[in-house]
Structures are given as structure tokens and as C-alpha cells.
Amino acid sequence: MDPGFKVEARVAKPLAEVFEAVVDPGRLSRYFATGGAKGRLERGVIVVWDFADFPGPVEVRVRSVLKNALIILEWASAEGAYSTQVEIHFEAIGKDRTLVTAEESGWLPTDSGFAASYKNCEGWTNMLCCLKAWLEHGIVLREGFYR
């Protein structure tokens, strides 16, 4: 079995608003990349996400973007010798509700690969919770979440 995961959240906002909250670096910086996001998620670019609660910026390669439907990202694994792939799917489930699904795969089936996948599963679950709290209630859930 290869390490990987899929997490999802339902956000009580229209599809276009939820999608824009992920691709726009200004919005993403408000609730998730609390150290700042640099670069809009557009096919073929490399953006940088920084987190105030984790050391150092992270380079994110944008492989594909289908407006209001799908974002495919790639970034270095925690082990550093290879990359993993992230797919974020967006689906309208009503006029003002959106299903967001994040899945990541590509780790080696080693103890350290499984450990890294678990850590990233925590991170993407946090991202979806932060997205929901910020869009629905204006709450920055990530603030103080990590040390």
C-alpha cells in the first residue's frame, strides 16, 4: 500500500468564492499561509507559501488549474529526494455550498514516507478547517493553532 490520503470539507459559500479563496495569494495568506503566499495559483508557475508557525518558505509548483474545479500542485516531500502531488477538487453542492476535497500522493512506501503523509494529512485537514472558518465566520483558525 502506498501512502496517501483524501480529506474533504463542505463550505457554506458559493463555488467561485471558495475557489478564489484558494488561488488568490492575498486571501490564502489571511487564513492558511500566515507568513504570506506569493503568487497566484496559475498553471506552470512556482509560488511560495510561508507559514508563521513553521520555519521557512515552501515552493509549490502549479501543474494545472481548471477554474472552479481543480488545482494540481507538486512540492518536495519532507524527505526531500522526490515530490508529492496534491489535487484540490471543488464541486458546487447547492447554490451556496461547495465541497472541497484535497488529496495528496506520491510518498515512498517507507516508514518515513508514511510518517510524512500523516503529517501532511494533518496539514490539509487544517487548511480545509481554516478555509471554512474564515469564509463562513471571518475567524482565523490557524492563529495559535501550532506553536
**pLDDT exceeds cutoff 90 at 82:** yes
Say what the pLDDT of residue 37 is.
Answer: 96
Percent of the chain whose pLDDT exceeds 90: 84
pLDDT at position 96 is 96
Closest CA to 125 of 17, 12, 32: 32
pLDDT value of residue 84: 97
Q: How confident is the model at residue 100 (pLDDT cuts 50, 70, 90)?
A: very high
What is the total residue count of the chain?
147
Report pLDDT for 132: 98
What pLDDT sits at residue 97? 98
Digit-coded pLDDT (tens) for 20-77: 999 999 999 999 998 999 999 999 999 999 988 877 799 999 999 999 999 999 999 9
The answer for 39, left when phi > 0, alpha when psi is -120 to 50, beta otherwise, is left
According to CATH, the superfamily of the domain at 4-137 is START domain (3.30.530.20)
Higher pLDDT, 22 or 2: 22
Predicted confidence (pLDDT) at residue 86 exceeds the cutoff of 90: yes
Task: Give the residue carrying C-alpha cell 488568490.
Answer: 24
Domain parsing of the chain, residue ranges: 4-137
